[in-house]
Structure 1
Amino acid sequence: MADDYLGKKMADYRTRQEASARKPAATLERLLLRNRSYRGYDPSYTVREDQLRRIIAVNTRIPSARNRQALRFRPVLSDEAPKLLAAIRLGGALPELHLPLPGTEPNAFIIVCSTLPEDRWIDMDVGISAQSMLLQAVEIGLNGICIGAFDRERVRREFALEWEPLLVVAIGRGAERIVLTEIGAGDDRAYYRRDGVHYVPKIRLEELIVK
């Protein structure tokens, strides 16, 4: 009986190891490709507080201009999400769609604030922070989008923020198909939708490199 038990345990262990070996590594290339700006989310999935905390935690390990570390973060869960949804705009290049579509709204956010007046160094920190948090979200199976189009005063008032809000990051489980398309430097860069697919033009590498 004991031999059978140990044998089954060893077999289970080997199965888990083999499955882990077959799982694609979370390389930077894979994370970047999956890190798209989602404007529609799965309404059946509710983001948890521990997930937002894990995403925010990247800010304890990333660079900060002059090491001022002036950014602060306000997690917003599903119970408060409606207040923030009323203050943001999504899909500025597709105003006729009124994104997000009803029933696909994100139910969690991170409000990024600064303890110092906004300047070039703060803006640099916000960019590094936002990209790092979105990559962490992707690594744990979530998605997101950076939102700069929002009513700052309303957000500050609604959430009783001590500091100026600079950016809102929506977090959720994306429910859209997003495809990158290669373009030349002089081509139209506006994103668009066709047959339910969201297309994002990206300038090809050869035209990004200065010779």
Structure 2
Amino acid sequence: MLRISLYELYHTLLDIYGYQNWWPVDEHYHKSRGTDPRDEIIIGTILTQGTAWKNVEKALENIKKEGELSLRFIRKTNHEELAKLIKPSGFYKAKAERLKRVANFFNPTDVVRKVSREELLKIKGVGKESADAILLYAGDKLTFVVDAYTIRLFKRLYNIEGDYDRLKALIEDSIPRDITIYKEFHALIDTHAKMYCKSTPRCGECFLKDFCISAIQSF
């Protein structure tokens, strides 16, 4: 039996951290350039694979400085130049190829409104986490994103393990089907994992320690 329900966890994290308003996009940039902010979400989703967000931000800034933060820029830029711009994100040659494939798929960007998860997963280099992130944040579709932070927190807090789809189904069955809650809960889990539930956890300082199986067992 869960010591704190998932919906209670969501509200607890929200009370502590407030709304995260994730996915972060540069709205002013897109208004001034006439570009689509959904492009930034799609590009950022590919760039964040296997790296920290701070490295993604550097790559995004390179693209803005040297070109345009849009899928059309990704489509028209040659592979070598694109790889150089996104180098801070790591695995830049592979990611340049993925960006090309994704940019060609989302042409026009509005394809994101009607694309299915199954279609996205057929694109080489797009896994379940990336597909769900694109659908949730760019497509405003009700699909929860499970990432490494989610897996870590659920293992420690609830002693729940499982594959991606099992955890995704558990969360979706336990919280209201609301787009804002889906977005905020995912962002709040990531925020908490970065603050307290790190690789080496800060259990003694964590406000969830009285509910956390791992923390209780460590004391």
Q: What is the TM-score with the length of structure 1 in the denominator? A: 0.26
Q: What is the TM-score with the length of structure 2 in the denominator? A: 0.26
Structure that is richer in helix per residue: 2
Higher CA-based Rg: 1
Structure that is richer in strand per residue: 1
